[in-house]
């Protein structure tokens, strides 16, 4: 069993961040696209992100990953 903040969670967040950063300039990139790239359903993604970041997917996306110039 992995403790909170364990290797699995760190790897997941690194992958999540990399996908977001790679697609910052793509104005058509959506949560559905993110789910496809990370290999989770929308519900699974939300369940995994919420406890790790203490916020939902959209909030983490907009608060932590603002597009340049916004």
Statement: residue 1 has pLDDT above 90? no
Closest by CA to 23, choosing from 35, 11, 41, is: 35
pLDDT at 4: 54
Q: What pLDDT, in 10s, does the model give residues 15-59?
A: 988 998 898 888 899 989 999 999 999 999 989 888 888 777 766
Query: How far is the C-alpha of 29 from the C-alpha of 2, rounded, in Å?
Result: 31
pLDDT at 68: 39
Q: Which helix (H) or strand (E) holds 13?
A: helix 7-22
The sign of the dihedral angle between the CA atoms of 50, 55, 56, 57 is negative
Domains of the chain: 7-64 (1.10.10)
Query: How far is the C-alpha of 47 from the C-alpha of 22, rounded, in Å?
Result: 23
Task: Please report which confidence band the pLDDT of residue 3 belongs to, taking 50, 70 and 90 as the band edges.
Answer: very low
């Amino acid at each position: 069993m992995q403790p909170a903040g364990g290797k699995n969670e760190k790897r997941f967040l690194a992958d999540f961040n990399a996908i977001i950063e790679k697609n910052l300039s793509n104005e058509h990139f959506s949560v559905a696209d993110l789910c496809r790239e990370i290999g989770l359903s929308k519900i699974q993604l939300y369940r995994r992100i919420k406890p790790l970041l203490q916020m939902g997917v959209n909030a983490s996306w907009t608060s932590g990953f603002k597009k340049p110039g916004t």
